[in-house]
Copies of this chain bind each other. A is one copy, B any other.
Amino acid sequence: MAGKVPVMCGVDIGGTLAKTVVYIPDGWGRGDGGGATNEIQAALGRQGWTEEDLRVEVEGGCLVFFKFVSSAALATTKLIEKLGLLPKGSQLHVTGGGAFKYKHVFEDALGVAPCVHDEMESLVRGLTVLRNFKHECFSLKNILFQGATGADRESIQAVWTDLDVEKGFLIVNIGSGVSFVHCTKNRKNGKETFERIGGSSLGGSTFLGLTALLTGVDRFDDAIDLAANGDSAAVDMLVKDIYGDKQVYNLKPTTLASSFGKMVSKRARKKAAPEDLALSTLIMCSMNVAALAHLHAKSKNAKHVVFTGSFLTGNGSNSIRQETNKFGLNSHSERHLHRRNRIAMRTLAYALAFWTKGEKQAIFLKHDGFLGAVGSLSLGVGDIIGQPNSSSSRL
């Protein structure tokens, strides 16, 4: 692209939430007809949710992230236009399950049809862009799985990690269901390609759908909060429930043997609390994704497994955003963990390390939830937003 780069937007619109990235070039807002970046971010925050510590400085500008409720697409698009974020004639880049449903809404608001990008392609491209930033990928250390309880360990630490692109890696996208995507790099020409190598119907909506049926709680963040106070040993059959305290097949007595296994007994069903049922559901879904991820990674000889998707990020509503830091992390750079589905992350990281004897590593992302938005914009406008600022990476 020659000349001055304009302000640009990418939106990943799902059934519930729309995740949005805005590229704001340096100097924009000082005479371009828009407000300063901080004012823009504040205005977007009032329409949805935004967080300053997710902002990334890139070559020639910065990326600002925010989410809004999909059903408010019309009002939000009008706000985006009013703020000057979509200059006359410029195109909105859109992806996600709701891209087709909301296409006419964007067109009505802007007068220009949005450019719709493939969901999986946007996801992979988004990761390709974001992984260039120094503090994007992280792994979890000191994970001691709490057996059947949901309590967090103070010892868990998030550690920034570089994604091993050369050897190929796996992306596990946990949305309503699960997709397993293998990404490889051609050693000769450096070209990166990806392939969807499998799927599973046990995903985020399985957790929420089952929890809703079993407890009546059907908001994702509430279901996660419920699970955090549960004891899944009241619901699940453990190895010791079958074999007593002797060790069989190298499995600890506290190893999960059968999810919901105790619920075949009427007496046990009467004793199981909603919290316990929610936690069992959460652990069942997480452990199962980890088991499948392990086998897919093994079959492709990939070391790093990137877990992403709405199952891990929740919907970023206030209840999650304002909760206390239960990961035991206090530094500014690790604050983004607050908002996550911590039990699922811990279970995924633990189970993958357990099954592979530490050979495979679970990777999580600071900007999880925004891969599709960043990717759709990058697919639309090229490499322009893909270059990290050479001087610093803002945390």
A291 to B295: give the CA distance in the assembly, Å. 10
Q: Which residues of chain B have C-beta atoms less than 8 A from A198's C-beta?
A: 291, 295, 355
Q: Which residues of chain B have C-beta atoms less than 8 A from A201's C-beta?
A: 236, 256-259, 261, 284, 287-288
A262 to B264: give the CA distance in the assembly, Å. 25
A264 nearest CB across to chain B (Å): 5
Q: Are B209 and A258 in contact (CB under 8 A)?
A: yes
Q: Which residues of chain B have C-beta atoms less than 8 A from A261's C-beta?
A: 176-177, 201, 203, 205-206, 209
Q: Are B176 and A237 in contact (CB under 8 A)?
A: yes
**Copy count, this protein chain:** 2
Q: Which residues of chain B have C-beta atoms less than 8 A from A206's C-beta?
A: 258-261, 284
A262 to B218: give the CA distance in the assembly, Å. 11
A209 to B179: give the CA distance in the assembly, Å. 27
A292 at the interface (CB under 8 A from B): yes
Q: Which residues of chain B have C-beta atoms less than 8 A from A284's C-beta?
A: 201-202, 206
Q: Which residues of chain B have C-beta atoms less than 8 A from A277's C-beta?
A: 213
A303 at the interface (CB under 8 A from B): no
Q: Which of A52-60, A242-250, A327-335, A384-392 contacts B (4 or more CB under 8 A)?
A: A242-250
A182 at the interface (CB under 8 A from B): no
A141 at the interface (CB under 8 A from B): no
A27 at the interface (CB under 8 A from B): no
A298 at the interface (CB under 8 A from B): yes
A175 nearest CB across to chain B (Å): 8
Most buried by B among A244, A260, A262, A263: A260
A249 nearest CB across to chain B (Å): 5
Q: Mark A230-271, 1 if CB is under 8 A from B, else 0.
A: 000001110000111000010100001111111111100100
A114 to B384: give the CA distance in the assembly, Å. 75
A260 to B204: give the CA distance in the assembly, Å. 10
Of the candidates B208, B295, B296, which one forms a contact with A264 in the assembled complex, judged by CB atoms under 8 Å apart?
Answer: B208
A156 at the interface (CB under 8 A from B): no
A257 to B97: give the CA distance in the assembly, Å. 13
Q: Are A213 and B269 in contact (CB under 8 A)?
A: yes
Q: Are A213 and B177 in contact (CB under 8 A)?
A: no
A324 at the interface (CB under 8 A from B): no
Q: Mark A336-376, 1 if CB is under 8 A from B, else 0.
A: 00000000000000000001000000000000000000000
Q: Which residues of chain B have C-beta atoms less than 8 A from A209's C-beta?
A: 235, 258-264
The 9 closest A-B pairs by CB, nearest first: A209-B263, A209-B260, A295-B295, A205-B261, A176-B258, A177-B258, A205-B258, A201-B259, A177-B257
Q: List 28 A-B contacts (CB under 8 A).
A: A15-B242, A97-B243, A176-B258, A177-B256, A177-B258, A179-B249, A199-B249, A199-B251, A200-B288, A201-B256, A201-B258, A201-B261, A202-B284, A205-B237, A205-B258, A205-B260, A205-B263, A208-B263, A209-B235, A209-B258, A209-B264, A210-B260, A212-B264, A212-B269, A213-B277, A218-B265, A218-B266, A299-B299
| 6 other A-B residue contacts (CB within 8 Å) besides A201-B259, A213-B214 | A97-B243, A176-B237, A201-B288, A212-B269, A218-B265, A299-B299
